[in-house]
Chain A
């Protein structure tokens, strides 16, 4: 294989209500083993996936949100969150889980994995990708 391909996983659904978010995250975690150039995008209700303090206890469903914290260890450290989607839902970056990764090249400095981008920036990022998977 000549080079790693650019993969973007787009998350468009809320963490609860449908299975898309949790099964989408499974693909990202499995896919990390393939050492491709991976990023994720969160748009529409998908931004709720990263919300802090999720509690599913009363729904009888598993709270899988802690699994997002593992992404940094899998070198999935570019999570693009669409600014307009946050604003439409009354959310700010402070409402999101603090997701970080450790930069090996800078003495394991802890860095944020979350990038707030607007629609136009996200559109440009999508243009750069080889593979886009939608969940």
Chain B
């Protein structure tokens, strides 16, 4: 679980580095669940300065490369304005902003990840 926003807090960076190291060591990553301000990891409108890391694109690339399941909590995402095309339509929004490789789903996905995985790690404050 990643529970802090990108750029404000190191949690997103730590999670990313940890996951890369875990994959390199041969571990399987069942799911990455984004909660609280962590859902801001999943907006493709993010535009950091060119000399800084692009946290969102980095997730999208890692997801493509390793077929990762990146899930944004729907309730947390709605509060913070992160929407996919379905959510945009359902809530009458004029656009969506979810980044490639991410999907929006419920908190049950977090609990399921805890049940199905050997370990669940929290990257947050």
Using CB atoms and an 8 Å cutoff, list the residues of chain A in contact with chain B.
1, 5, 7, 19-20, 23, 26-27, 30-31, 33-34, 36, 130-135
Contacts and interface: CB of A to CB of B under 8 A. Distances in A.
Given A133-B122, A134-B124, A30 B108 contact: yes
B111 A34 contact: yes
30 contacts: A5-B114, A7-B111, A7-B114, A20-B36, A23-B35, A23-B36, A23-B75, A23-B76, A27-B107, A27-B110, A27-B111, A30-B106, A30-B107, A30-B108, A30-B111, A31-B110, A31-B111, A33-B108, A34-B112, A34-B115, A36-B114, A36-B115, A132-B120, A133-B110, A133-B114, A133-B120, A134-B3, A134-B122, A134-B124, A135-B3
Contacts of A33: 108
Q: Interface of chain A, helix or strand or loop or mixed?
A: mixed
Contacts of B3: 134-135
Nearest to B123: A134
Q: Interface residues of B toward A: which range?
A: 10 to 19
- Of A1, A23, A34, A134, the most chain B CB neighbours within 10 A belong to A23
A26 B75 contact: yes
Contacts of A30: 106-108, 111
B83 interface: no
Given A26-B75, A27-B110, A134-B124, 4 more contacts: A7-B111, A23-B35, A23-B76, A30-B111
B1 interface: yes
A6 B108 CA distance: 16
Contacts of A1: 115
Give the 6 A-B CB pairs with smallest separation, nearest first: A30-B107, A131-B114, A31-B111, A134-B122, A34-B111, A131-B120
